[in-house]
A and B are shown apart, each in its own frame.
Chain A
Amino acid sequence: MATAAHSGKNYLNEKSGLWSWLTSLDHKRIGIMYMISVMIFFAIGGTFAMLLRWELFGAGPTIMNAHQYNQTMTFHGAIMVFMVIIPGIPAFLGNFILPLHLGAKDVAFPRVNLMSWYCLMVGSAIAFWSLFYHGSDTGWTFYTPYSVTTQNGTIWLVFGAFIIGFSSILTGLNFIVTTHKLRAPGMSFWRMPLFVWALYSTALLQVLATPVLAITLLLLAMERLLGIGVFDPNLGGDPVLFQHFFWFYSHPAVYIMILPAMGVVSEIITAFSHKTIFGYKAIALSSVGIAAVSFFVWGHHMFVSGQSEIAGIIFSFITMLVGVPTAIKCFNWVATLYRGSVRFDSPLLFALGFLFLFTIGGVTGIILATVGIDVHFHDTYFVVAHFHYVMVGGTLMAIMGGIYYWFPKMFGKLVNEFWARLSFVFIFIGFNVTFFPQFVLGAMGMPRRYFDYLPEYEPLNRISSFGAWTIGVGFLIGLGVIIHGLLRGKPAGPNPWGAKTLEWTTASPPPHENFLVQPVVTAGPYEYR
């Protein structure tokens, strides 16, 4: 093995050819395959977003009709949720980094890991297949009875999401077992990097929540095909039950999207302030705490659905509790920067951008959790702005930061710092210009999923559209940075950032076995002394 490394062999050049990638059981290669597929899906979902903002540039029809708008809105949401943000960090960055962080050679079940990627591919292909059956116009939430009655390829989109769900379950299962069984000698739970804690909490959610989505989508498909009358009021069913089932999955799912992002940010902030994390245990346990509480808050999506008043109050209370561990994390990150040695490379910029946007997303989350306030904001642009601040401002910022942070490890090369920082500037400014006005639009009462709007909403919508295109430019620059880094990047060396976690102790790119000598852990992950 040692000889292989000395001869410059690594996971990238060990074997060659497309087939060697498509059949690879190496978690690093599978991670890169996820990276490419998620980037492609992101480009498609992002294109839909640009079209939506173009349509909303002015009141009245601009470039499409209402039906096309609703389909575009549906596919933007479904692609971004199921194919980009959910697999984004766990399946891509997590796959690559988790075994390295643990000092393991691979995940516990490499074949299951590969199968998980194929599930994502097959599920996505089926979901896109629906476009040949007049698409789908239900929104990504598939609310009944609309989703049962609308005439089009919704069944394919539902089936695709069902298959993608298996991808998520299998990845979660793999990560749980890997974390429990494959830690390097000496690596106790309290010595695991915080990214691992975040992935572990996420995996618990994936394993516990996604099966409920599976059965919900199965029942929905049966409702469409056989009219089984579980969700259809004409057949004795209850359409609101679908919402309970759906959000029982989809609320934990939003933490599937954000928890790993919090893990990435913890890594980046320690590495670039060159200082140990402040309150390691609090951050680690708050991930698990958020995951646990997230199962009991689904009803806050349904304050005005017709559920009982007492249910609304209980769900509002539990939702407030999520705010506490989230607040701890934010304050602890800021405290980590205190008396640090802060270096402003692009990963840190994205992590700071995350903190900035996530804080705004977080406080507006508390506003929405306040049940009496939500009756006005529910299903308005305020909600749209809130979840974009968390999902895009949070998760996508963390993905970008994570890519720039681990790019040297993945490919052994450095990206061009100037252009990487420029991509941040465009994304960050564009993001705020896009979504901040939407808070105001929501407060003014503009409902979401509106193809057309009253003239008084036009000026802010126009600003929002300009912002969206700015984000688009930012991501194009980011893509350029990555491609340029791959082709022309300067050699990185094993540890360009001077970080302390295990992945930086091996070569860049790592060899197939990750570590030539089994690492033995004797201290915590952030020992900057």
Chain B
Amino acid sequence: MAEEVSSQMNSLSISETNPSSSATISLVSGDDIVFKVEPTIAKEMETVQSFIDETDGKITTIPLPNISSHDLPYVIEYCEKSIAGKITKEFEAEFVKKLNNEEVKELFLAANYLNIKKLLDFLSQVIADRIANKSVEYVRRYFGIENDFTPEEEAKLREELAWTFTGVDPDDEDEN
């Protein structure tokens, strides 16, 4: 995977906009790796597109400080499939199989930042599936939530909500 990615990218500094390559858009990840994509891909990313629109298309190098070079290829792959109208259940199943819990969360944040509705909805469903029927402790770990209830408060709440906890699966081994 790492080699595959590195073949597609060249390290450029953000300010170096090359006017001859105005047809393609350069997306610069948080760790300064440049990904060249077709303008149609950029259109899928609302945040990127609005940046391009605001500058009347003059700026084609977009810094994405919140997205790592590890996550960006996944986002681009999904957008490419989306444009080609090839988002099928099979593709999504394969796509998500490659991702561990941490990567799903990272991609979710990326999709949210880039404002890609389809990807965001898809990953929301993935996250929902991964926390479905899991114990409270598991979901707390999953989201990194600190329990701020006193033991008494929690016991009372658990009692009130007891009927919602039927059918909880045993915790999986944590992937991370």
Bind each other: no
The residues of B with any CB-CB pair to A shorter than 8 Å are none
The residues of A with any CB-CB pair to B shorter than 8 Å are none
